A = this chain, B = another copy of it.
């Protein structure tokens, strides 16, 4: 079954609100095995709304509408659908009782336009609105299914869940139990195109489960999806695909659900009772901000120092003066300084791990070192400190995010390696 979602509202076309209804409905439809092929947004305009309905009829079996059910003259959705289908509208008695009761209970006189909220297309099934006044509709005509929902998410979600979904399952999906199941595989320490190259044959040739890379700010994700009659049946296929992918990219797959790397680290260290501190120069606090964004980080993160100036690197982190200044000094952006920062902050925080980042985020640069040159260090109690050189591209923000993700990746690898020992 192919579906199209039509959101109605000029406020969407003006960018005053974002279309979260389309996202919600798409997720819900995927979960019951309905493929959404198009999402459309159209304004509160009778001609263009009818045009959008006719376009959807030509390419979808199920058309879901959100918005335009309110009391004002701008709310045209049911009128437009009725016109396209050649049907009339009537007042649904139960819904009208509810609208009238609402005003009576508040001692407010009901204005005439509120009757519009009880309008129902002839021979449609009214969909009850538990959290608002406008009634929804569901109907079938010439093999096409129409589901009409209100715009406010707090009305649309319960109406979809309690009224529209059961109606669709019974009428459009005829009791068929096939649903789409997906698994998100999350990767760190590898770019999107390198990852795709390693999996290109699977992405191109495999049709069940399907394997698709997709980009999300600062992260690389693979979605593995299959249609199945039950979750158990789906999991057999999804897990087999995950094993296959994992074998090709053993060093980079950090989670089989949609979580950020810092969450995996915080939870893992929490289980082992490990702690970490950080000394940040060019990232300016971003590594610590990422770690502490995770609830529960207080048990693993003790604190850290943002040592933006050389003065603070010397004073608080004991970086030797001749590492920072003088003709033959390695300079603040150097493996030597990354090592001292990681080791010193670990000792100061008395933590199991110490992380450091020092680099040139740009746009300015110093010491004849290029923008994007970054050193990251990771110290561990009783072990040798490791330092990595990064050469990153992008603007200041991108370089800072990639540097922070890189040190978190190294920390995660260290946890993996330690567990093997």
Instruction: Please list the residues of chain A having a beta carbon within 8 angstroms of any beta carbon in chain B.
Output: 9-20, 22-30, 35-43, 45, 48, 51-52, 55, 59, 70-74, 102, 105-108, 111, 113-114, 130-132, 151-154, 182, 191-194, 196-197, 200, 203-204, 212-217, 223, 278, 280, 283-289, 291-293, 295-298, 301-309, 311-312, 315-316, 348-350, 362-364, 372, 391-398, 400
Contacts and interface: CB of A to CB of B under 8 A. Distances in A.
Given A15-B25, A15-B29, A152-B215, 14 more contacts: A9-B214, A15-B22, A38-B48, A72-B196, A73-B196, A111-B196, A154-B398, A283-B292, A285-B286, A297-B308, A303-B309, A306-B306, A311-B350, A316-B316
A286 B18 CA distance: 25
Nearest to A131: B395
Contacts of A42: 37-38
Given A59-B51, A130-B395, A193-B72, A13 B40 contact: no
Given A15-B24, A114-B193, A394-B131, A302 B312 contact: yes
Contacts of A14: 26-27, 30, 36, 182, 223
B306 A288 contact: yes
A404 to B, nearest CB: 9
A197 B289 contact: no
B304 A285 contact: yes
A29 B12 CA distance: 13
B348 A71 contact: no
B41 A13 contact: no
A204 B102 CA distance: 26
A348 B305 CA distance: 12
Contacts of A48: 37-38, 59
